[in-house]
C-alpha cells in the first residue's frame, strides 16, 4: 500500500487538484517533478503541513517510478517515490490515518502537530502530552477550555485563561 497526502481541498503541491478514483499523469520528463507518494503514511505528513487539515489517500503508481530516500519526514523512515502516472484509490478515514501512524511508530509530536487529532483520541493518550505539546493543545481553538483542562496536567490550569489572550 502506498500513500499520498493532500491539503483540505484534496490538492497536491502547487495547488494541483486531485480526485479520488481518477488517474493523473505527470507533464514532465524530470523525475524530480513527477507525482510523489510514500510507502509510509507518516512520511507524507510534512508535505501538506501548511493545510488546516491533511487528507491522505491510498494510491497506486501506474507509470515509471523512481525512489528517493526520505530524510525530511521527521524521523528518516523509508522512501518516497515519484511516478509518471498515479491512481488515487481511496481516501482514508481519520480513524485509519491515526491507527496507521501509531502502528508505524510515528513520533507523537508529529501526530499532534500535523494531524491535530480529536479530543477523544488525545484524552486516551493524555500521558504523552508534555513539553512543547502542551502549547499545541493550549492553542487549539477547536477545543473548549474544559477539554484543554482535561488534556493538560493540573499544574498548567493557570495557563488556560491565557489562551484567549494569545489567539
- The 10s digit of each residue's pLDDT in 93-125 is 999 999 999 999 988 998 998 899 999 999 999
Q: What is the pLDDT of residue 71?
A: 61
Nearest-angstrom CA–CA distance, 84 and 86: 7
pLDDT at position 123 is 96
So what's the pLDDT on residue 157? 74
- Please check whether residue 155 lies inside any domain of the structure: yes
Q: 85: domain range? A: 2-94
Low-confidence ranges of the chain (pLDDT < 50): none
Q: What is the pLDDT of residue 4?
A: 95
> Where among 94, 127, 150 does a domain terminate?
94
Q: SS3 of 46, please?
A: helix
Q: Is the dihedral of CA 55, 42, 58, 86 positive or negative?
A: positive
Asked if residue 105 is part of any domain, the answer here is no
Amino acid at each position: 500500500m502506498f500513500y499520498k497526502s493532500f491539503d483540505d481541498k484534496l490538492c497536491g503541491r502547487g495547488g494541483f487538484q486531485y480526485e479520488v478514483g481518477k488517474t493523473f499523469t505527470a507533464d514532465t520528463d524530470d523525475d524530480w517533478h513527477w507525482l510523489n507518494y510514500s510507502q509510509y503514511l507518516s512520511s507524507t505528513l510534512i508535505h501538506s503541513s501548511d493545510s488546516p487539515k491533511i487528507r491522505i489517500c491510498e494510491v497506486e503508481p501506474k507509470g515509471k517510478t523512481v525512489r528517493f530516500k526520505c530524510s525530511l519526514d521527521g524521523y528518516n523512515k523509508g522512501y518516497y517515490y515519484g511516478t509518471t502516472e498515479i491512481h488515487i484509490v481511496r481516501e482514508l478515514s481519520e480513524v485509519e490515518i491515526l491507527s496507521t501512524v501509531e502502528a508505524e511508530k510515528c513520533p507523537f509530536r508529529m501526530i499532534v502537530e500535523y494531524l491535530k487529532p480529536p479530543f477523544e483520541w488525545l484524552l486516551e493518550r493524555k500521558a504523552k502530552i508534555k513539553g512543547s505539546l502542551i502549547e499545541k493543545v493550549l492553542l487549539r481553538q477547536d477545543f473548549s477550555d474544559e477539554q484543554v483542562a482535561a488534556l493538560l496536567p493540573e499544574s498548567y490550569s493557570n495557563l488556560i485563561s491565557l489562551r484567549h489572550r494569545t489567539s
